[in-house]
Copies of this chain bind each other. A is one copy, B any other.
Amino acid sequence: MSDLVWGPSEETRLVAIRADLASVSTATACHLLIAHGWRNAYMRGLLPLRELGLGTRLVGRARTGRYLMRRRPEVPLDPVARRVSPEIVLIESLEPGDIICIDALGVPTAGIIGDILSARILGRGAVAAIIHGAVRDAPFIKEVGLPVFAAAVHPSHSGRDLVPVDYDRPIDMAGCQVLPGDIILADDEGALAMPLDLAEYIAAHGPEREALEIWIRGKVAAGGSIHEYYPPGPEKAAEYMAETGRQAPAVSPRPEEI
């Protein structure tokens, strides 16, 4: 029933790009994705509860879970049923490097995870949790050490309004379709999802672009004008080459080139 397709080959490929991908800001990656026609890779409004810090980037494999509105009245917690409840199976099956993505329809009136589940997600080795909805125990979650991205806080438990229905299937994360096995790139500006092959593209071409942007920022901060440096004209491209030994990639590439 899972749509997650992942084997040693995918693992190897992710390991190979993890560091490079983490050197690219979500802003730069988003620009490259849109140039590919991927308009909707960003999970809008899902921001970290606590700032990660400039330059900190999270990379991981998406594991997905889905909630829908509750139908039946809530019943007392049944430990046996809970053992096979989709969100618990998902959490207990997380592997190091995963980023758990929960689609809770953006509902702001029920907290999907609290401090204990956050601690367990961290304990399983996950890199982050992203909730399209609310979290509870937010003051405690900030202490747990797991980066948690969410749309809202609400002290009630998820069962007030929602029930888990399945996991490792396609979901909606605040306007972004996420498939299990997608690669997530996140920083203080939020999170992006993309398939492994696009992640490889970003890891291959994002760093040179990031480097160029940093160089331009420095030039502009030192008084350079947009006309000269952003994008660099031929003269400034040569300056870039002379100073860094690198070819300046196009700031806004032609779609066919990428």
* Residues on A facing B (Cβ under 8 Å): 25-27, 29-31, 34, 36-42, 44-45, 47, 54-55, 68-73, 76-77, 79, 82-83, 88, 91-92, 105, 108-109, 111, 114-117, 119-120, 122-123, 136-140, 142-144, 152-157, 159-161, 163, 165-166, 169-172, 175-177, 187-190, 192, 213, 216-217, 220-227, 230-231, 233, 250-255
Contact = CB atoms under 8 A, between A and B. Distances in A.
Copies of the chain in the assembly: 6
Contacts of A114: 27
Contacts of A155: 25-27, 29-31, 42, 189-190, 192
Contact of A142 (B54, B105, B251): B54
A69 B251 CA distance: 22
A38 B72 contact: yes
Nearest to A191: B155
Given A30-B155, A116-B220, A171-B68, A188 B105 contact: no
Contacts of A166: 169-170
A136 B42 CA distance: 12
Nearest to A66: B170
26 contacts: A27-B155, A34-B159, A36-B73, A38-B71, A39-B70, A40-B71, A40-B161, A54-B143, A55-B139, A68-B170, A68-B171, A70-B177, A83-B227, A115-B217, A117-B226, A119-B217, A120-B220, A120-B224, A120-B225, A120-B226, A123-B224, A139-B187, A139-B189, A154-B189, A155-B189, A157-B252
